[in-house]
Amino acid sequence: MKKQSLFKAGMVLAFGLVTSAYAVDACKDAMPVAQGSGHSVNGNSTGSISGTKWGFEQWSAGGSNSMTYYDNGTFKANWNNNNDYLARVGFRYGDNGPGKSVKGMQYTADYKYTKTGSAQYGYIGIYGWTVNPQVEYYIVDDWFSKPSEQYVGPKQGEITVDGATYTIHTYVRDQEASKTGTSTFLQIFSIRQSPRQCGHIDIQAHFNKWNELFTGQTASLPGSKGGQKSIQLKFGDVTEVMLMTEAGGGATGSVEYTYFDMSENGQPSEPPTPIDRKPFGGTAATIPGTIEAENFDEGNYGDSYSGTQGASGEDGDHDYRGEDYASVDIVNGGTGKAIGYTAKDLWLEYTVNVTKAGEYNITAYVSNGSGSGTVELSLDKTALASLAFEGNTQEDWNTYEEATGKATLTAGEHVLRITIANDNTNVDYVKFSLEGAGEDDPPLAINADLRLGNTAKTLQVFDMQGKFMGKVDVAAGASIKDAVKARFQNAGIYLVKLGSKMQRIAIK
């Protein structure tokens, strides 16, 4: 649809085409390199890709752009200062019908791409229209900023497929541009909760779910021009099924697809391999004690962890938990590792063993470079505590702070859930200390010349402004001064910490 888009952050996309069935991994496999100089597309244009069943389209409003596609269907594109730019490739059955029933079909797509640039809005994924009734639909696989219900409408359900959960939304475009001119029509969205840049899309699974949810009833939904609109909830016969990009709002960027395959009778996605639910490392975390955020329970998406990820972090430790947990970004930060690149409503669960009942002081070690927020805790699905933090607006995620609260715990094994209540919150750990019993960690045992006692320790080191600098390993009986000097090398005043005990160390 040629319109001002619904989302606040930009997207870019292009595609390639091959004809193999889904027995490949587009994220790992390679397809033959495109031969020749390709075919240039000028201005607003639609057409067919010779030797394939697919067509292409390029459309823009303002700015400049170019697109080149190859005989194997792959293509690249770039655009500059566009109010709205779109490119799509896939099946086209005629803009105004009669449309093709999706019953008994098995639409699939496989893709891989790279992109550059920025935009105020946009989306990447499957796009098309239906007739009887007229519907504009999207399967959104990736974004720069998570789509808001303000622009996609209320959640109507969800589907778990292709290794993630998609939330399903509906919205009414009120007397706006459509395939049949200016009209009022329904939009249906499936929005993936862990964005990606390559993979297999079981398009048919979404079609089937929409047909299950929307059986022709009339509903009152938010309209694009304000207020509620009554409209029929039904998915019709498709006039196109295409991979699509739309980017706008002064969008500038480029894209290159290195893998694409789309089929009307492809192979449906296999369900994810079941992972038995169990504590990380096989043993429940102990309370009183510290729960490391990155050590959430083993299990499948939606079982031990869920929610939305933000932009994927290139500096994360993607090997710590392996590919089964790739939708959760683990970063180096805080006192070691932390959960990072988060978005609102991401949650993680931990099997814990509370050894002593009582009132607990709770401390979460967090950072957020885009503002203040909270971390919400629950125990066995019952709200436990809301831990508020100040954050900062300097885009500084290396400065961590303590968010504190209290709660009463009963003894025994429980499931602790940590929920991110605000975008971009990093969580290092959550610590539970039994009130009135002193710190759980033993005091920092040092003698007069600042040597450890008979037990080796790993100490946290801070500067005089309280900013965490790193950790230092100190052997039993060794000089803390010498260890800090060897680790950080610069002269100055340092603070070392174990539990609640702090010790100033002067290095000359």
Residue 119: alpha-carbon gap to chain centroid: 18
Residue with tokens 């010779």: 50
Residues 6 or more apart whose Cβ sits within 8 Å of residue 465: none
Domain boundaries, the chain: 39-263, 280-434, 457-507
User: CA-to-CA distance for 186 and 235, rounded, in angstroms?
Assistant: 9
246 part of the active site: yes
pTM value?
Answer: 0.58
349 part of the active site: no
Six-digit token string for 203: 């398009």
Q: Which one of 136, 240, 292, 294 is the catalytic residue?
A: 136
User: CA-to-CA distance for 338 and 319, rounded, in angstroms?
Assistant: 14
Q: CATH fold of 39-263, please? A: Jelly Rolls (2.60.120)
Can you identify the CATH homologous superfamily of domain 280-434? Galactose-binding domain-like (2.60.120.260)
Q: What is the CA radius of gyration of the chain?
A: 27
3-state helix, strand, coil in the chain (%, to 5): 5, 55, 40
Residues in the chain: 508
Q: What is the pLDDT along the chain (508 residues), one digit of tens a residue?
A: 333 222 222 222 233 333 333 457 888 887 777 777 888 998 999 998 888 888 889 989 989 999 888 877 778 889 999 998 998 899 988 877 789 999 989 999 999 898 888 888 888 899 999 999 999 999 999 987 778 898 899 999 999 999 899 999 999 999 998 988 999 999 999 999 888 989 999 999 999 999 999 999 999 999 999 999 999 999 999 999 999 988 888 899 888 888 888 999 898 987 767 889 999 999 999 999 999 999 999 998 778 998 555 444 445 666 788 877 877 888 888 888 899 888 788 899 999 999 999 999 999 999 999 999 999 999 999 999 999 999 998 888 888 999 999 999 999 999 999 999 988 899 999 999 998 765 444 444 445 457 766 667 777 887 776 677 777 888 877 888 888 888 888 888 888 876 556 677 888 7
Is the Cβ–Cβ distance between 118 and 251 less than 8 Å?
Answer: yes
Question: Matching CATH topology for 39-263 and 280-434?
Answer: yes
Helix (H) or strand (E) run with residue 488 in it? helix 480-488
Helix (H) or strand (E) run with residue 480 in it? helix 480-488
- Residue ranges with strand state E in 179-214: 181-192, 198-201
330 forms beta bridges with 339
Residue with tokens 């300097």: 394
Six-digit token string for 325: 């947990």
Q: Which one of 246, 294, 298, 349 is the catalytic residue?
A: 246
Is the Cβ–Cβ distance between 427 and 418 less than 8 Å?
Answer: yes
